[in-house]
Structures are given as structure tokens and as C-alpha cells.
Amino acid sequence: MVSTSVRALTYAQAVNEAFHQEFERDPSVILMGEDVAGGAGRSEFEDAWGGVFKLTGGLIGKFGPERVRDTPISENGFVGAAVGAAATGLRPIADLMFVGFVGVCGDQIFNNMSKMHYMFGGKVKLPLTVITSTGAGVGSAAQHSETLYSIFVHFPGLKCVAPSNPYNAKGLHAAAIRDDDPVIVFNNKQLMGGVGGGIHVPEDSYVFPIGKADRPKEGTDITLIGISYTTYQCLKAAEILEQKGFSAEVIDLLSLSPLDEDAVLSSVKKTRNVIIVDEDYPMCSMASELSAIIAEQAFDFLDSPPIRLNAPHASVPYSPVLEAEYIPSPEKIAQAALSILE
């Protein structure tokens, strides 16, 4: 492929394109959230923000304030409104700015969104998408830097995806919007800020299937499982390992609930060693779940115990020095791999 054929978008541009295409495709798609346009109610500032990470820019100008609704700081209100709108026939997207804000809309997500389909005996569909941003690394301190997808995955009735690059971000957002069940999309701040760019993003609309993992690098000696941003940490660690003569396979989980057990288990059964790299707190986390599933279902294939590399069981530090130590680094991953392989 010649480089001129690569249509490189940033993660935010790719998601933004998915939103524009889904809004055009289906008039029942609406968007709600704080600053999804920005400058709410003041026409001279219309679309001043387009979302904190510019994911929703341009939508209000094209589709109007009926479908693109700037809300007050009222997560419980607008997430609840989105649940109700979904139950009555619309396809809402609710933007929960930072995932730590789940504390003020947990009832809508955990008690209404995840349970309505079940409690109404399947008579109501909730074609609702919640997007939220996750992760440390940008100096936002303990309350605005969490990852937390693990607690959403804990609840039955929610599909949870964590894209890792502009290509799958565009496809997973489109898939989430078209899905008839509630889907939460976890967007990592560092990816939206540019990490992982430079890949081809088709202009045409497409979906990336929910429930499928990806394998960005094949290898034979050890499986490194990444989630969203940590997929890059795994890919960098794989390069370090390559220089030492070891071949690492990288699995990009992408879908946290449901989990692509086949992709995970078939890789682990091949390489017989596994490291799970997760930026979330370690206890009762995605990494715990993966480690447990691998131990339970691939026990006889493993040459070494599964290893989890998480953030520590500690709040996210504000200090940039400490924050840099917080997320598992490629060096730490490579070191953990070498401790098994050498």
C-alpha cells in the first residue's frame, strides 16, 4: 500500500465521522450531554466545544438543537432522559464526559438501563449508547482519571466496548448506535489525544462487531492482552521482546462484555503464557476476569501462571512523576514477560 492511499484520521475525527454518518442514516439518532455542542442556549457560541474531546463537533450545525441537545451538568437527568427516549423509540447517544461521573448516574445505568429489557420481559428494547472517557496520563487527578469499565462489566444487561484506534473506534461507535441493546463505549483520553493514529480509516460507513477481539500482532512465545490504551503498551513491549529474541502475540480485547473468549483462549493455548495488561484498578477487574477465565479454561495448556499487570490498588495520583509510574509501562510488561520466558 502506498502511503498516499492511507486516509489517516485521529481517533476523535473517526468517531466524529461515525456520528455524522449515523445521524444521516437514521433520523431517530439523537445526542445528549454536557457541552456536546457547547455554549448552550447562546446562539453566538453554538458548537463552541463539540464535546470535551471534539467527538461531537459539527453535529448541532448540521442536525439542529432538536437532535443535538446540550444539557446542564445533570448526569442523572440526561442519562435518565436517554433511557426513557430509548424505551420510547429513539436511538439516543448520551455523553458521560468522564467515567468517574457514574457515581451521579449509577441508578440510571445500573438499575434502569441494564435491567429494563429483563424486567419488562423483553417487551422493551433500549437501543442506547453511552460514551464516556477513561484513563490517566493527562494530570486530571484521582476523580477524573479512572478507568472503571470493570464495574460496568459486572452488571448483566450492558454491552461494553473499549476501542483502541481510529479504525475500530469508528466501527464500534457505529455498531453501538445500531445495536438494540444498551452499549457503553469507553474512550481512552490518551488515544483521543493522538496515540495510535496513522492508520487507514475508510470514509464509507462500516461497523466493527461487538463481542470480537482483534489480534494486531501474531507471535508464538507469549500472549499479551491489551485493553484500549494498554494495547499500545503491549505492542511496544512486543518490540522490546523481539529485540531479545522472543515472539509476543498481542490481543486487543476491544469488547469487554461480552468477552471474546475464543480469541483469548486460542491465543493462550498456542503461546502457553499470558500477561494481561489493564489500566483499571486490579481488584475485581477485567484483568481478574481474564486471568480467572484463562486459569479455569486453559489450565492444562499453561506453562506458567497468568500474570496481571494493572494500575496499583491506589487512587490515581495528580503528581506527573507518580502518574507516569501508575499505568503499566512497556518496560514493565517486557520485564514481566522476560521473567517467564528467560
Interface residue list for other proteins (CB under 8 A): 100-111, 114-115, 118-119, 141-143, 148, 150-151, 153-157, 257, 259, 280-281, 283-289, 291-292, 294-297, 299, 302, 304-308, 312-315
Nearer to other proteins, 205 or 297 (CB): 297
Nearer to other proteins, 124 or 295 (CB): 295
Least Å from the CB of residue 26 to other proteins: 28
Q: Which is nearer to other proteins, 29 or 222 (CB)?
A: 222
Smallest separation (angstroms) from other proteins to the CB of 149: 9
DSSP three-state, residue 60: helix
Where do the DSSP E strands lie in the chain? 29-33, 68-70, 91-98, 129-134, 159-161, 183-188, 214-217, 222-226, 248-252, 255-257, 274-278, 307-310
Q: Based on CB atoms, which residue is closest to other proteins, 119 or 324?
A: 119
CB 86 within 8 A of CB 126: yes
Cis amide linkage into residue 65, ω under 30° from 0? no
The least distance separating other proteins from the CB of residue 313, rounded to whole angstroms, comes to 5
How far apart are CB 156 and other proteins at their closest, in Å?
5
Q: Which is nearer to other proteins, 242 or 261 (CB)?
A: 261
What letter would DSSP give residue 134? E
- Active-site pick, 20, 117, 144, 154: 144
Residue 238, classed as helix, strand or coil, is helix
Residues 80, 32 contacting (CB under 8 angstroms):
no
**248 burial level (CB within 10 Å; 0-12, 13-18, 19+):** buried
CB 281 within 8 A of CB 138: no
- 195 DSSP 8-state letter: T
CB 216, min distance to other proteins, A: 24
Active site includes 20? no
Question: Which residues are catalytic, by number?
Answer: 144
